[in-house]
């Protein structure tokens, strides 16, 4: 074998060994990235589709189910109470048959609404229907047991309290107004009929019902007000559970919910979407140089700049620390790359004013797209995280799109033919 051939063979062998060493080093760094990346610690090997999508709807449904069960129990107790009152000494029921018919009809209504008709569908209008039915039932019972002199007249308070705690102020005020009309009709009924109008009405019987009516409005207003304040507090808690307190962006729980929905919708409609992983390159240096207050301001500043470059339909969440994730519905890799480059340049060109100077900020971005980079949502997100890792590994302050063919052998930013390096894209996404 000639000396030139031997030198060439040795050189090729050395290059091959160097390539294996570099690939092994990259794989080791990749394994280290898997162990330290929040994305891998969150997802592991689980299927994101199995993450519960509550968006607080399950909580609302459970609440409505509890309300409906309480309403049903209260209605049955009303029926039992009226039956017991019929047996009380001194209780005057001019037409027991009519009262029994009223009890029978109301019992049939309870059975139909709660146990037959859409029993698994929980809606507030069904609660409203039940409270309106209770008003008519109480009115019919009071009418047949002495009108305004009936000992069952305070049953209206149960309806008002139930409405105020479950249906809100507007519905409660409307129902209280209906009860007021019922009071007037009962006053006109006198001892049980409307044929004499107000002719037989005794003014001496007025103070008691008027005071009850005043208290009814009082209870309706203040219980509704307390319920409204409680609902505001619950909504505030819900908002805090959905958003990142520092930046006001969605938290990862909510983003995963939106991602799951978009993934399922894209599978059904054969649409595309893109996932972007964004990481600030120099936050640790900022913390070390300027302090953690400056680092906090950097995170807020970066979040505001990123939000300004996204559409209203896009979702942006803070993943933790200086990492962010964006979901771009109906967007392919080309459009996502456009947005990412605009975002990266905007952040690089907009330093954070701090004290007497400014802090320069740069970010690295990784992109993966559905269905190009995988069919499963977990795979898309992990591939976006791998692209982010390689953009940082290759020098930071750049955008990389995940490349299936290049994985494990080397990565390059996605570029059109005939160009090298990052794309120079300035046109906004349509």
Contacts of 26 (CB under 8 A, 6+ apart): 393, 408
pLDDT tier at 231, thresholds 50, 70, 90: confident
Among 53-57, 248-252, 384-388, 413-417, name the one with the lowest average pLDDT.
413-417
Task: Decide if pLDDT at 305 tops 80.
Answer: yes
Task: Decide if pLDDT at 55 tops 70.
Answer: no
pLDDT tier at 205, thresholds 50, 70, 90: low
> pTM of the full predicted structure?
0.56
Asked if 26 and 389 count as a contact pair (C-beta separation under 8 A), the reply is: no
Q: Domain locations in the chain?
A: 57-242, 246-401
Task: Decide if pLDDT at 48 tops 60.
Answer: no
pLDDT at 178: 94
Compute the CA torsion angle 57, 58, 60, 62 (nearest 10 deg): 170
Average pLDDT of the chain to the nearest whole number: 77
Q: What is the pLDDT of residues 329-376, one digit of tens each?
A: 988 888 889 899 998 999 889 888 888 888 888 899 999 998 888 888
Task: Decide if pLDDT at 160 tops 90.
Answer: yes
pLDDT at 146: 83
Q: How far is CA 157 from CA 131, 138, 176, in A?
A: 12, 10, 10
Reply yes or no on domain 246-401 having CATH 3.30.70.270: yes
Taking the alpha carbons at both ends of the chain, their separation in whole angstroms is 63
Q: Pick the residue with more confidence: 121 or 172?
A: 172
Instruction: Using only the alpha carbons of the chain, give its radius of gyration.
Output: 35
Task: Decide if pLDDT at 242 tops 70.
Answer: yes
Task: Decide if pLDDT at 105 tops 90.
Answer: yes
> Which residue in the block uniquely carries the two structure tokens 């109008």?
197
- Mean pLDDT confidence for 239-245: 75
Q: Pick the residue with more confidence: 193 or 219?
A: 219
């Amino acid at each position: 074998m000639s000396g030139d051939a031997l030198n060439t063979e040795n050189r090729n062998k050395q290059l091959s060994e160097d390539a294996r060493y570099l690939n092994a080093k990259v794989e080791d760094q990749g394994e280290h990235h898997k162990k330290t990346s929040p994305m891998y610690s969150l997802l592991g090997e689980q299927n994101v589709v199995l993450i519960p999508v509550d968006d607080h709807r399950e909580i609302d449904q459970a609440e409505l189910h509890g309300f409906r069960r309480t309403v049903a129990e209260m209605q049955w107790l009303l029926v039992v109470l009226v039956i017991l009152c019929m047996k009380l000494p001194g209780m005057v029921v001019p037409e027991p048959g009519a009262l029994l018919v009223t009890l029978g009809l109301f019992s049939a209504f309870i059975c139909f609404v709660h146990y037959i008709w859409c029993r698994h569908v929980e809606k507030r209008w069904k609660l409203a229907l039940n409270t309106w039915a209770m008003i008519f039932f109480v009115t019919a019972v009071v009418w047949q047991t002495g009108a305004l002199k009936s000992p069952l007249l305070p049953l209206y308070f149960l309806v008002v309290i139930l409405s105020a705690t479950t249906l809100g102020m507007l519905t409660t005020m409307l129902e209280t107004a209906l009860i007021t009309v019922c009071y007037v009709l009962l006053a006109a009924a006198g001892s049980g009929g409307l044929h004499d109008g107000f002719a037989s009405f005794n003014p001496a019987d007025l103070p008691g019902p008027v005071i009850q009516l005043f208290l009814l409005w009082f209870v309706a207003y203040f219980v509704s007000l307390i319920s409204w304040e409680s609902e505001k507090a619950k909504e505030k808690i819900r908002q805090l559970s959905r958003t990142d307190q520092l930046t006001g962006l969605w938290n990862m729980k909510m983003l995963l919910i939106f991602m799951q929905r978009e993934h399922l919708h894209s599978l059904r409609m054969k649409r595309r979407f893109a996932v972007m992983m964004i990481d600030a390159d120099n936050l640790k240096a900022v913390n070390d140089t300027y302090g953690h207050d400056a680092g906090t301001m950097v995170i807020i500043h970066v979040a505001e700049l990123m939000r300004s470059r996204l559409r209203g339909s896009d979702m942006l969440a803070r993943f933790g620390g200086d990492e962010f994730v964006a979901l771009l519905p109906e967007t392919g890799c080309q459009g996502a790359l456009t947005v990412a480059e605009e975002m990266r340049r905007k952040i690089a060109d907009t330093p954070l004013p701090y004290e007497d100077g400014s802090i320069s900020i740069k970010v690295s971005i990784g992109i993966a797209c559905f269905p190009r980079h995988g069919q499963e949502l977990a795979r898309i997100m992990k591939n976006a995280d791998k692209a982010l890792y390689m953009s940082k590994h290759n020098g930071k302050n750049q955008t990389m799109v995940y490349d299936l063919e290049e994985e494990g052998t080397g990565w390059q930013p996605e570029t059109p033919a005939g160009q090298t390096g990052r794309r120079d894209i300035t046109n906004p996404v349509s």
